[in-house]
Chain A
Amino acid sequence: MTELSQLTLVEAAAALRTGECTSVALTESVLDRASLTEASVHAYLTIDRQGAMAAAEASDRRIAAEKPIGPLDGLPIALKDNMMTKGIETTASSKILSGYIPPYDGTVVKLLREAGAVFVGKTNLDEFAMGSSTENSAYGPTRNPWNLDTVPGGSSGGSAAAVAAGSALAGLGSDTGGSIRQPAALCGLVGMKPTYGLVSRYGLIAFASSLDQIGPLTRSVQDAAILYEAIAGHDPHDATSFPGPAPSGTERLGAGVEGLRVGVVNELSGEGIDDEVLVAFRTTIDRLANAGAEVVDLSLPSTATALSAYYLIAPAECSANLARFDGVRYGLRVDGSTVDEMMSLTRAEGFGSEVIRRILLGTYALSAGYYDAFYGQAQRVRTLIIQEFATAYEQVDVLVSPTAPAPAFELGAKTQDPLSMYMQDICTIPSNLSGHPAMSVPVGLSASGLPIGFQVMAPALGETVMFQVAAAIEALSDDIGRPVLEVVAS
């Protein structure tokens, strides 16, 4: 059989049930893989070998007693380091939280723990999830296992790279403007952002509260659906949590696309998109049409202003969300002669330049006299986008576009040019602003062997049909396989 570390969640769960392998063996396999790949990939900030092995042993006992908890019992999973894990350092890749040990588990972490999942460790990200390349980490960048000279995307680049490299079977990321889907596209994975409110944000370090959602990064659509189902559901600790039951992810997998209406968003599928990406996108559209989907071209003019609106709303919210990192109660403290000076010095020392840039942007956007022109206007654009999407979903079941404008770029290529970095999220941001679910599915490789992603978007609570279409695309596409990574034992 395949190397254990390369199995999908579904394959690994089956192997556990039949006794072909144990959770301990699976866990050792990803840990061994990490010890080979980490020196070059640097997907993890913390690897919790002890905790992982203990969880794996407990899982094996349950499976031996034929009492596994569920489909994730015993499966090694990576967590983005902006999720609270009790007793395990959590930094959001920021110097300001260096050494911070949370006293509690976030809701999603708790749910997965209770589902028997094994946590391999905490993965790298752009500091406070602000970025699209995982280069903005105070602890050094992560590299793309498909080509170590390129970035894995971001901000959930660590989780994506871990899954691509085989140092976890699946991972969790968070998506504020595309931070799950874009790294999924760049690392050849399935990445999914649920409808806003379906997955609890309790215990996720907030970047932009009205946009953040946690979601899966996996090797298959079915894996993503299973992991999504495990973490979705109402949480009384999150007042924005959806009160009803979460839609099924797995129910219509394999049902095909016959008769489904697929809308191609013109504004997101032409200008600014790399030719190779467009070719792969068009090929996939043709395959969907051939499989019986009705393909419709649609215009969503407001998406053109989405990026600008996003870069006012997200920084505005982050300027308040990050105010709590002040050196008073936890994290880094740089002493000063007064409390105010201590706070200023701590924040200047603790935050990286991209974080400071966004805090300043947001502070400005909310300032007296500017609020209406900036934040107020951005909210109006947001309302417009929601309305346009709602109208579009009266005509189609799903909307589609490329996920990222281009395959993975080289490290350092965009670090001096924030605007070109921000363009990475041009196709993914609209779904965050509208609160709708969206996911990325790998549909091919570029000439240079880098993965290309295809985005499926659905109306609010439209997860079931979104997974249905994504599974069909996966089935219709050529398998891109796994990255060939030259590794040296560290």
Chain B
Amino acid sequence: MNWEPVIGIEVHVELETASKMFCGCAVDFEAEPNTNVCPVCLGLPGALPVPNRKAIEWITKIGLAFNCSISERSQFHRKNYFYSDQPKNYQISQFDVPVCHDGWLDVTVAGATSRIRINRAHMEEDTGKSIHVGDSGRIHSATETLLNFNRAGVPLVEIVSEADIRSAAQARAYAQDLRTVVTALGVSDAKLEEGSIRFDANVSIRPVGTEPFGTKVEVKNMNSFRSLERAVDYEIRRQEGVLESGGIVHQETRHWDEGEGVTHSMRSKEGSSDYRYFPEPDLLPIEVTDEWRDEIAATLPEMPAARALRYVALGADGDSASSLAGSEALATLFESAVEAGAPGNVVANWLTGEVTAWSRRESLDVAESALTGKHLRDLAAMVAANSLSSTAAKEVLGYVLAGEGGPAEVATAHDLVQISDSGALEEAVDEVIADNAEQFARLAGGEDKLIGFFVGLVMRVTGGKADPRAVTEILRSRIS
């Protein structure tokens, strides 16, 4: 039987506001454990939450960026469950009326674009962190659990898609594009590896051509886009295997094991799913008036998809345009280089190729390098003028990134400038012809393969700085 995957994604984004969701404590994960805490975020008796207006502004921004409707009045609810890193043993979250609802994000995989509907984006607070000490570091065998409440109460936005995703690749693209938008909004550093953005996938399969959904399984613990794709892919195949062999898929939560490349069933918690939601009596409804919403909308930056289209018009190819649009640092360099007169296609290739590779290799942000748009323009001009080969240009780019200086300066210092001055080249060619008269006669007599021999000699004589095409042209002019 042919199966169709049905996938929905839940995303948690930690907002990088200055202070926490319901108290004045700083949002700072680097701090010593339990230093950014107060009666409110520690759940001390008598403490009360006061909502962070900035966080409400930012979730509205997120909602608008994903084409959501914004609720004029939304409601906080208490989600009740006991867990030792949850100070109040309930989480302030939202239930039936979230701040943002009914949006969408267009996702393109292999040239095909699909609209993934977004059900809702709601506001909640993060928990503290448990560190299990002893044995394997897993909760089952821990001898002690240490708690750090610096993260408790950090504003968290949960973005829930509809089950509109149909492949693991599409799941990955959705997650990547969503992260790109969130980053462009400047509301979160959205680092998967640090957990400031977290993706869970709800996966089910159904026979192709049928309507009803299969039993869904929630897959957690993916800390890279690659592992998200692998986990979803694995889970689809696992469910196919179960159903094909006559089994049934159980509704459960499964944990992705990156090392083994499989999902494991998590022990189901007793009485797990009844969170006894009820309206949070300590908080009034959140009001986002039309005026405030419009004010926030006016501050939205250009969205990555729109920006990518503009970059294509400036000469970048589709893939490079998306990459550039997804990185603030690359986009800034691209725009300033093009503005200064550099050809878009060349600069786009450098930025997504050498520059990105350098950033990865050095583990440095491109914005931290010495590279400027003007450097890129100058470099492109040198290539166009044949004073640098394209290979040499890439080498020069590396030295510029490392802060050695501008392209001209660096190229000279590293002796990479091509001899494109025709007088000097002609002199070198003639010298080589004179020294190899017999071979030249054979070349002139029609033995064309000898052209490579002469070009090679000229390159040797010029220490590799000659432009091979120019050398070939001069040789031809000498034959005729």
Contacts and interface: CB of A to CB of B under 8 A. Distances in A.
Interface stretch (A165-173, A235-243, A283-291): A235-243
A325 B87 CA distance: 9
Contacts of A368: 273-274, 276
A397 interface: no
A323 B46 contact: no
User: Nearest 4 CB-CB pairs, A to B?
Assistant: A323-B89, A210-B281, A366-B276, A209-B281
Contacts of B45: 84, 90, 92, 97, 100, 102, 205-206, 324-325
A326 interface: yes
Contacts of B277: 366
A201 interface: yes
B74 to A, nearest CB: 14
B46 A320 contact: no
A244 interface: no
Contacts of B49: 239
Interface string B57-95: 000000000000000000000101010100111100000
A201 B48 CA distance: 8
A401 interface: no
A371 B82 CA distance: 19
Nearest to B88: A324
Using C-beta atoms within 8 Å of the partner chain, give the interface range for chain B.
20 to 34
24 contacts: A83-B46, A84-B45, A92-B45, A201-B48, A202-B48, A204-B46, A205-B46, A209-B281, A239-B48, A239-B282, A317-B278, A320-B80, A320-B89, A320-B90, A323-B80, A323-B88, A324-B88, A325-B45, A326-B89, A329-B44, A329-B87, A329-B147, A330-B44, A343-B84
B284 interface: yes
A236 B276 CA distance: 29
A317 B88 CA distance: 13
A97 B45 CA distance: 10
A417 B39 CA distance: 37
Given A102-B46, A367-B276, A240 B283 contact: yes
A175 to B, nearest CB: 16
Contacts of B88: 320, 323-324
Contact of B46 (A203, A367, A371): A203
Contact of A366 (B47, B89, B273, B278): B278
Given A324-B88, A339-B145, A316 B278 contact: yes
B296 interface: no
A84 B89 CA distance: 20
Contact of B43 (A201, A202, A319, A324): A324
A245 interface: no
Contacts of A204: 46
Interface in B270-325: 273-274, 276-278, 281-284
A90 B39 CA distance: 14
Nearest to A212: B281
B87 A324 contact: yes
B341 interface: no
A367 B274 contact: yes
B87 A239 contact: no
Nearest to A375: B278
A84 B46 CA distance: 7
A296 interface: no
Given A236-B50, A324-B45, A324-B88, 9 more contacts: A92-B45, A103-B44, A205-B46, A239-B50, A320-B80, A320-B89, A323-B80, A329-B147, A339-B145
Contacts of B121: none
Binding site secondary structure of chain A: loop
Contacts of A236: 50
Residue of A204, A205, A317, A323 contacting most chain B CB atoms (<10 Å):
A323
A54 interface: no
Contacts of B145: 339
Nearest to A202: B48
A179 B87 CA distance: 28
A329 B47 CA distance: 14
A340 interface: yes
A312 to B, nearest CB: 11
B44 A323 contact: no
A323 B50 CA distance: 20
B135 to A, nearest CB: 14
A367 B274 CA distance: 7
A328 interface: yes
Contacts of A209: 281-282
B301 to A, nearest CB: 31
Looking at B42, B44, B80, the one whose CB has the most chain A CB atoms below 10 A away is: B44
A106 B45 CA distance: 10
Interface in A28-45: none
A322 to B, nearest CB: 9
Interface string A196-237: 000001111110111000000000000000000000000011
Given A239-B48, A367-B274, A320 B82 contact: no
A240 B48 CA distance: 10
B468 interface: no
Contacts of A371: 276, 278
Contacts of B283: 239-240
Interface in B87-129: 87-90
Contacts of A203: 46-47
Interface string A473-484: 000000000000
B400 to A, nearest CB: 52
Contact of B47 (A92, A202, A323, A328): A202
B87 A237 contact: no
Nearest to A368: B274
A348 to B, nearest CB: 14
A363 interface: yes
A201 B47 CA distance: 9
B51 interface: yes
Contacts of B281: 208-210, 240, 317
B250 to A, nearest CB: 20
Contacts of A102: 44-46
B274 A239 contact: no
B247 to A, nearest CB: 28
Interface in A275-333: 316-317, 319-320, 323-326, 328-330
A95 to B, nearest CB: 14
Nearest to B284: A239
A423 to B, nearest CB: 25
Nearest to B139: A339
B109 to A, nearest CB: 38
B11 to A, nearest CB: 26
A204 B88 CA distance: 15
Contact of A206 (B46, B50, B87, B276): B46
A103 to B, nearest CB: 7
Contacts of A343: 82, 84
Contacts of A208: 281
A239 B84 CA distance: 26
A319 B283 CA distance: 17
Contacts of B43: 324, 329
A323 B90 contact: yes
B41 to A, nearest CB: 11
A328 B46 contact: no
A283 B185 CA distance: 70
A52 to B, nearest CB: 22
Nearest to A331: B45
Nearest to B85: A328
B39 A103 contact: yes
Contacts of B78: 320
Given A209-B282, A240-B282, A323-B89, A366 B80 contact: yes
Interface in B20-65: 39, 42-51
B34 to A, nearest CB: 10
Interface string B314-357: 00000000000000000000000000000000000000000000
A100 to B, nearest CB: 7
Given A84-B45, A328-B84, A237 B278 contact: no
Interface in A63-110: 83-84, 90, 92, 97, 100, 102-104, 106
